[in-house]
Amino acid sequence: GAVVSQHPSWVICKSGTSVKIECRSLDFQATTMFWYRQFPKQSLMLMATSNEGSKATYEQGVEKDKFLINHASLTLSTLTVTSAHPEDSSFYICSAREASGGATKTQYFGPGTRLLVL
Amino acid sequence: QKEVEQDPGPLSVPEGAIVSLNCTYSNSAFQYFMWYRQYSRKGPELLMYTYSSGNKEDGRFTAQVDKSSKYISLFIRDSQPSDSATYLCAPDQGGKLIFGQGTELSVKP
């Protein structure tokens, strides 16, 4: 149980294009999903928290107009990197927390999406 | 000072060794403490979590929290080459995980 998928697993795009990454909870409902970015040999940095049906909350320093997040259902959240540039190349990982997670607050992570902007 | 400090390693041990992975943290309000394992180019996988101080055991893994010293540990007994990965401690802050840098572990056959 508690499987989270991401699509695509990797993407290469030209500078200036937009890229959409999907995050799905496959066997549970997630009221809250999180988006992280991870650079090589570094830890996960939280970019934003998204709650189903409401606007995402972005961490300090993350441009909300550049990283558009939509959490339209209890099983799907999307991250769109708009006008991507080479410095946006990174490993993007989503996680989801069960709607009925209770006190454990466990987050289950997707396999990640590797983005390379040329 | 970072909220969560973790020695990045790398840590190399022979197969069968006992491994000790540690984190320190600064926020005394943390109540839940997670340990994740991340293989190269993969998403993190939840290993176990503990609530407040104390120990929790799951197979070869034991998680330990000492809130008085703000110290978190993960012990791996009888380590296997398949345990080679990066281990991330992550206290929970109001539903957000605060990740340490991760310790890269290599278990040599």
Structure confidence at residue B11 as a pLDDT band (50, 70, 90): very high
Is residue B109 reached through a cis peptide bond, with omega within 30 degrees of 0 on the bond before it?
A: no
pLDDT of residue A58: 96
**Is B95 in Cβ contact with A112 (below 8 Å)?**
no
Count chain A–chain B contacts defined by CB atoms under 8 A.
52
Chain B environment of A103 (Cβ under 8 Å): 51
Distance from CA of B75 to the nearest CA of A (A): 20
**CA–CA separation, B87 vs B33, rounded Å?**
13
More confident residue, A67 or A29: A67
A89: contact with B, CB 8 A cutoff:
no
Average pLDDT over residues A57-81: 93
Structure confidence at residue A104 as a pLDDT band (50, 70, 90): low
Structure confidence at residue B36 as a pLDDT band (50, 70, 90): very high
B41: contact with A, CB 8 A cutoff:
yes
Cα torsion angle, B104, A2, B3, A87, sign? positive
Chain B environment of A91 (Cβ under 8 Å): 41
Give start and end residues of each alpha helix (H) in chain A. none
Average pLDDT over residues A6-12: 97
Q: From the list A44, A93, A106, which residue is nearest B46 (CB)?
A: A106
**B4 has pLDDT over 90:** yes
**CA–CA separation, B33 vs B103, rounded Å?**
16
Give start and end residues of each alpha helix (H) in chain B. none
B34: contact with A, CB 8 A cutoff:
yes
Which residue of A lies nearest to B104 if distances are taken between CA atoms? Answer: A41
Exposure string (b/e) for A64-97, b if CB count within 10 Å is 16 or more?
A: eeebbbebeebbbbbbebeebeeebbbbbbbbbb
Structure confidence at residue A1 as a pLDDT band (50, 70, 90): low
pLDDT of residue A100: 62
**Is B42 in Cβ contact with A112 (below 8 Å)?**
yes
**A103 has pLDDT over 60:** no
**CA–CA separation, A36 vs B16, rounded Å?**
34
